[in-house]
A and B are shown apart, each in its own frame.
Chain A
Amino acid sequence: MSLNYIIAMMLFTLGIYCLLFKRNLMKMVIGLQVMTNGLHLFLISLGYREGGIAPILAGEMLERGAAAELAAAAVDPVPQALVLTSIVINVCTMALALSLAVYTYRHYGTLNPFRIRRLKG
Chain B
Amino acid sequence: MNSKEHNHSHDDHDHDHAHSHLPSDPELRVKAIETLLLSKGLIDSATLDELIDTYENNIGPQNGAKVVAKAWVDNDYKKRLLEDATSAIRELSYQGRQGENMVVVENTPEIHNVVVCTLCSCYPWPVLGIPPTWYKSDEYRSRTVREPRKVLSEFGLNLDPNVQIKVWDSTAELRYLVLPMRPIGSEDMSEDELAKLVTRNSMIGTGIPEIVK
A binds B: no
Interface residues of B (CB under 8 A from A): none
Interface residues of A (CB under 8 A from B): none
